[in-house]
Amino acid sequence: MHQMRLDPRCPLADTVGMKYARISFPSRDVAVRAFHELARHGRIVSLPDGQFIVPEPATAFLQTRGFTYQTHEWMSEAYVTQALRNPAPNPV
């Protein structure tokens, strides 16, 4: 079982049954700063199109840190796992 802590004010027992968000940031600069913060406190998946997959509590973490982001969709852990194992091919 993986345990993840975003910071002491936002503890998580585990990630089983957690929802995940596919998000993007308004600029590369914001994305880099947010990625750095999230990577220090938990896990984050960076997608080739400039979007990220983060656990639900990470969205609250981003808000407390003042980061602006757009949520594109909410996903279950099973959906995230399947999507990462079978990525769609990039257009040629």
Average pLDDT in the chain: 82
Q: Is residue 11 part of a domain?
A: no
Q: What's the domain count of the chain?
A: 1
pLDDT at 11 over 60: no
pLDDT at 10 over 70: no
The pLDDT assigned to 18 comes to 85
CATH of the domain at 37: 3.30.70.790
pTM for this structure?
0.72
Residue 26 resides in a domain: yes
Inform me whether the pLDDT recorded for 14 exceeds 60. Answer: no
List the beta bridge partners of residue 19. Answer: 76
Asked if residues 14 and 45 have their Cβ atoms less than 8 Å apart, the reply is no
List the domain range (segments joined by +) for residue 52.
Answer: 19-85
Among 40, 79, 74, CA closest to 54: 74
Tens of pLDDT along 34-78? 999 999 988 899 998 899 999 999 999 999 999 999 999 999 988
* 56 assigned to some structural domain: yes
For residue 4, being part of any structural domain is answered with no
